Structure 1
């Protein structure tokens, strides 16, 4: 069965996989945009917010200028970036909720947040009160989910608020019901890594705090023990990472400048040295990171040799799906659920990550071709290689 998803793609039910897949309806050339999509809901990671990465509460657009962000992340308050005109942050249009002072990049985002979920979640003058139920929920989440984060408990909070604020709660519930909510894959005997017995106490704590902060009759099924595990698995397995950075936008715009060869060399050197300092001080945490639930992206299946990739080219939560190679009509569009480093690891390592986080064993062409490889993680392979080197020495 196919479901129309736009002029170039369609969602099809896959009986063999008991799921869905995104398929091309037309030819896409390499590097061509397949689709762009805004999320149903998104939220900044709790640790990211705690570490003062200022982002729009609605669309995650960075609220710091590139210079402000680079000064903070390099711990160099005197750093001056050339070509400030390449920074797209316009603080003159920033605004905030008049009740709780949560920040937005523009009035349209503030209104959209208020209309969709923020009326329920607005903490008013209690925003800085650590004993507020929502504050306690986020603190508990941070205590069990240290960086690098892969999900946000505020996704659940916003989902509940969206149901409560909508005149037709069932319509919103229907939207969320399309996402995978399975806590275990019974066929493969796989359970999500955050739902194991070792996390039982923490899950019960989160469930109790979430119930106190968010409970409503329209979503009572989400607050039973099994319902909470299911919704927890939903945000864990379906949440797509989102990254926005005023620095990366500034760099991208600088690269477009019309410059002489010497100027370009000097600019490239400055950017390289700045990134070295950023890496030294901030490591991988360079973006206003968060996660979101995307209707079409969530139907893209994984492949260890994907034909498409996800980018965030607009400086906010807007997702762009781009072709990595030519894609023919009726060909399935697949992305990688793994980052670039993880894709380079052994088949056994890749399978372990996918089983723990996404509850399936990968059967892509690459994994089938490597099926006869030994069941060793990349670390075990490296360890054995080191031992052999020592013996040879």
Structure 2
């Protein structure tokens, strides 16, 4: 891709994404669609309607606000600021899965949906695919971090591809972990009973979607590797028709009094949303991205990920000036976690991403005492209490 290049400059660190040109703060370094993506299972069950292909929210801002505030009488001003085009929404003629338009529907059918379409069995709880979804939800509760559907789509893509070798090659680019690291990654996804749960999922997937082209993914070792691959390389995706409506409202040219009234309405809306739904406000899913997956972590990143198109297209945006040959790094931690102590950051990165950070910020703080923040101490106490309870039972 012009402007950036994946290189291996340090064998211990592995591959990284490097700039081939100057970027200023705010520049979009690249935009990228995922090789594969899917909506989270619980998110879909809770009626966050999204395009099955690109994850664009299909619910109007007003309808989403009514649902998330439990107030069906709520009316949003300036409805023209909502960008959801419901007249363009189409459905799979067989199973009625929704898409934001014909282009996404056709793309999905050609890529993966032909192999996964349930037809008239979409509402049948006994269909193997529905049973798999139900099993997954019962072992992976919100807040969600993964979905077995991502693996099913990968299998479907290989099965449908005219050139399955090329599709397999695209997925092989993602970093494979060691056996111990794989077990750790899967444990984080599935919890303390991960081995039994993983084997149960493997049998369910194999019984329904076995194909000799992906037989290496469906052995016990291969299945564990695929889950570890997803756990260490996947990128969260979020879209919200409410946030788009708010952004467009902010851009309106209004008189002072009208602006104050609108701002007060939006402030109250967010309070009501928080009271009823908390932080679960978006259509959420996950995807695997070729270029973004090569971005290494830094606790002082020079780039960040945004979803400016309100679908699965990822934008990598510079937050610092970047020079040619400089490595482009993002933070794997959220804004709050990024400001915690070095010891806390290292702990989270080690547990969730299986590496010790050696970024400039961590090196500068190498002599800081190995103590956690008050929040971390509370979390550790809760973890210890939970372990004690598990020991009792």
* Pair in the same fold by TM > 0.5: yes
Task: Report the Cα distance in structure 1 between the residues aligned to 2:191 and 2:241, rounded to whole angstroms.
Answer: 38
Q: How does 1:30-179 map to 2 (within 5 A)?
A: 30-179=25-174
Task: Report the Cα distance in structure 2 between the residues aligned to 1:373 and 1:382, rounded to whole angstroms.
Answer: 17
In structure 2, what is the equivalent of residue 326 of structure 1? Answer: 321
In structure 2, what is the equivalent of residue 211 of structure 1? Answer: 206
Q: How does 1:257-276 map to 2 (within 5 A)?
A: 257-276=252-271
- Report the 3-state secondary structure (helix = DSSP H, G, I; strand = E; otherwise coil) of the residue aligned with 2:283: coil
- Give the root-mean-square deviation of aligned CA atoms: 1.8
TM-score norm. by structure 1 comes to 0.92
1:185 deviation in Å?
6.3
Task: Report the Cα distance in structure 1 between the residues aligned to 2:358 and 2:119, rounded to whole angstroms.
Answer: 50
In structure 2, what is the equivalent of residue 377 of structure 1? Answer: 372
CA contact (8 A) 1:190 1:359 kept: no
1:275 deviation in Å?
0.6
CA contact (8 A) 2:18 2:328 kept: yes
Of the structure 1 ranges 297-306 and 263-272, higher mean CA displacement relative to structure 2 is found in 263-272
Q: How does 1:293-332 map to 2 (within 5 A)?
A: 293-332=288-327
Task: Report the Cα distance in structure 2 between the residues aligned to 1:135 and 1:352, rounded to whole angstroms.
Answer: 37
In structure 1, runs of 5+ residues without a counterpart are: 1-5, 384-393
1:197–1:270 CA distance, 2 compared to 1 (3 A): closer
Q: How does 1:216-231 map to 2 (within 5 A)?
A: 216-231=211-226
Of the structure 1 ranges 266-275 and 6-15, higher mean CA displacement relative to structure 2 is found in 6-15
In structure 1, what is the equivalent of residue 184 of structure 2? Answer: 191
1:350 deviation in Å?
1.8
In structure 2, runs of 5+ residues without a counterpart are: 379-393
- Report the 3-state secondary structure (helix = DSSP H, G, I; strand = E; otherwise coil) of the residue aligned with 2:239: coil
1:172 deviation in Å?
0.1
1:184–1:30 CA distance, 2 compared to 1 (3 A): farther
- Deviation string, structure 1 residues 290-336 (Cα, Å, up to 9, x no partner): 00111100000001111100000111111011011111111100001
Task: Report the Cα distance in structure 1 between the residues aligned to 2:347 and 2:46, rounded to whole angstroms.
Answer: 31
CA contact (8 A) 1:184 1:359 kept: no
CA contact (8 A) 1:22 1:299 kept: yes
Task: Report the Cα distance in structure 1 between the residues aligned to 2:148 and 2:183, rounded to whole angstroms.
Answer: 23
- Report the 3-state secondary structure (helix = DSSP H, G, I; strand = E; otherwise coil) of the residue aligned with 2:281: coil
Task: Report the Cα distance in structure 1 between the residues aligned to 2:377 and 2:112, rounded to whole angstroms.
Answer: 49
